[in-house]
Amino acid sequence: MLPVVTPQQMNAIDAAAPQSLETLIERAGWAVAAMARSMLGGTYGKRVWLLCGPGNNGADGRAAASVMTRWGVRCRVIPVGADAMAPVPADRTPEPDLVIDAAFGTGLSRPFDPPPLPNVEVLAVDIPSGVDGMTGELIGSPLRATRTITFGAYKPGLLFGSGADLSGQVTVATLGLDCSDVSTHLLQPDDLERWPQRPTGAHKWNAAVRVVGGAAGMSGATALVCSGAFAAGASYLDVLGEGAALPVEAVQSARRVSWGHDVVDLAERFGAVVIGPGMDRQGDDSLGLRAALTVDRPLVLDGGALSQLDPIQSAIAGRSRPTVLTPHDGEFERLMGGRPGTDRIQAAREGAARFDCVFLLKGPTTVVANPSGAVRLVDAGDQRLATAGSGDVLSGVIAAGLAQGLDPMDAASLGSLLHGQAGSLGRRTLTASDLPGLIGEVLDSIDGSYR
């Protein structure tokens, strides 16, 4: 996992650093210069334009220009003031091979609108100028970076909103700064090595999952939950509700009016329970759900269950066993009374605090928060996962992690990472039913062993 810090936290880390500001700027300049050299494929005869603002971001750019000039790169520094930019060189000036955006960093508070520049690659310093460092929203018309080199740690603006799209490939240069004492982290592919493997002496009840859901017209949801759970290591699936084309290994029974008590019955055999996929959002299952919340097992609540939580919020907060909620933005609005807003990290934290649970807010960058305020971010996968049933597969994966003994924060965040990486293996178009097979491929690729 990599630390993620807000602009305000980064300012405090800079201020507390044992290194002088001059030393940090010198290190940043060398890091930018090295990245530029890599992008240029060398230095001899190369030309670089640098947009340099009046603050530390501009100082980093000027330090990089000094280093590259010693390497033989022809550098042109274009000063950027608080209100205006120096004229871009006239047409007769040879075009650059690279533009370095060191105009403004994460503390920008006014719009940045650069003039037209040659159509060459752009290296952004810390964050593309004109991107809000906290939310990723636009403040002006930022340049689209091919790569971004950020200092100390990731900033939220590189992962959310337009910032995620405009930043290109992001590299962190730590500069020797200590960013370890933070509560927000970005998961990396190698974190999946912590996904559990079945023990040698395993039997089918070691990782059993019970699924409650399925209504007329939406019975495929439970099938997708089962397929996702099996792919991620669940060993037994018991379904209460409708389920079309369930995996042949799943056991199914009808969901009765007293289904909440059925969930509790024989609960000791199950490692986790999923409630809600395919459940009628307009129906009234609050009595069944209230009874089910007494089950002495970890719960994953998704889909229709999320629309039933308002009158029984206190019952969730009072549970003695872990609960994971997995809303998308529309479900978040029904749960919290409003859309998540631009600060999605804070939105997830508020959800986790209100329901005293692990709260997974779905999105291009998924946010997983727990009641203590710890947050994990997952930016794996892409727009191909925005397809019907994808979230049902994710619920099954998370439940499989819980059933295999992961704590709820690990099950939700690593499950989201596994789900996202599987989506990135797919074809140009992807359906939810493709994901279970791809999940198996991801797990098999971790260490090449049979899982």
Query: What's the average model confidence in pLDDT over 255-268?
Result: 81
Q: CA angle 104-109-113, nearest 5°?
A: 60
Is residue 2's pLDDT more than 90? yes
Q: Are residues 293 and 351 in the same domain?
A: yes
Q: Are residues 334 and 240 in the same domain?
A: yes
Is residue 118's pLDDT more than 50? yes
Q: Are residues 145 and 211 in the same domain?
A: no
Over residues 120-137, the pLDDT tens digits come to 999 999 999 999 999 999
For residues 396 and 409, give the distance between their C-alpha atoms in angstroms, rounded to a whole number. Answer: 15
Residue 384 pLDDT level (bands cut at 50, 70, 90): confident
Q: Are residues 168 and 218 in the same domain?
A: no
Q: Specify whether the CB–CB gap between 222 and 213 falls below 8 A.
A: yes
Strands 299-301 and 375-378: unpaired
Q: Of 245-254, 268-277, 408-417, which has the strongest mean pLDDT?
A: 408-417
pLDDT at site 450:
47
Of the candidates 136, 167, 182, which is a domain's last residue? 182
Is residue 451's pLDDT more than 50? no
For residues 394 and 250, give the distance between their C-alpha atoms in angstroms, rounded to a whole number. Answer: 17
List the structure tokens of 377. 């971010």
Contacts of 294 (CB under 8 A, 6+ apart): 264
Least confident of 93-97, 405-409, 444-448: 444-448
Residue 200 pLDDT level (bands cut at 50, 70, 90): confident
Over residues 127-168, the pLDDT tens digits come to 999 999 999 999 999 999 999 999 999 999 999 999 999 999
Of the candidates 182, 197, 218, which is a domain's last residue? 182
Query: What's the average model confidence in pLDDT over 271-286?
Result: 81
Q: Specify whether the CB–CB gap between 416 and 408 falls below 8 A.
A: no
Which CATH number characterizes residue 307's domain? Answer: 3.40.1190.20
Q: Which residues pair with 170 in a beta bridge?
A: 148
Q: Are residues 149 and 203 in the same domain?
A: no
Of the candidates 149, 182, 215, which is a domain's last residue? 182
Query: What's the average model confidence in pLDDT over 209-238?
Result: 88
Model confidence, pTM: 0.92
Q: Are residues 308 and 366 in the same domain?
A: yes
Residue 311 pLDDT level (bands cut at 50, 70, 90): low
Q: Are residues 379 and 326 in the same domain?
A: yes
List the structure tokens of 228. 């996702």
The helix or strand, by DSSP H or E, that contains position 98, with its residue range, turns out to be strand 98-102
Q: Are residues 164 and 244 in the same domain?
A: no
List the structure tokens of 346. 């804070």
> Structural domain tally of the chain?
2
For residues 172 and 259, give the distance between their C-alpha atoms in angstroms, rounded to a whole number. Answer: 50
pLDDT at site 247:
79
Strands (E), 144-207: 147-151, 169-173, 184-186
Contacts of 254 (CB under 8 A, 6+ apart): 240, 241
Q: 405 lies in which domain range?
A: 189-447
Look at residues 289, 236, 286, 279 and name the one whose alpha carbon lies nearest to residue 396. 236
Query: What's the average model confidence in pLDDT over 217-232?
Result: 89
pLDDT at site 89:
63
Is residue 94's pLDDT more than 60? yes
Contacts of 248 (CB under 8 A, 6+ apart): none
pLDDT at site 447:
66
Q: Are residues 438 and 313 in the same domain?
A: yes
Q: Are residues 177 and 259 in the same domain?
A: no
Q: Are residues 200 and 273 in the same domain?
A: yes
Alpha helices in 43-159 (DSSP H): 56-70
Which CATH number characterizes residue 66's domain? Answer: 3.40.50.10260
List the structure tokens of 166. 């405009």
Q: Are residues 264 and 383 in the same domain?
A: yes
Count of beta carbons in the 10 Å neighbourhood of residue 421: 21
Count of beta carbons in the 10 Å neighbourhood of residue 197: 14
Residue 426 pLDDT level (bands cut at 50, 70, 90): confident
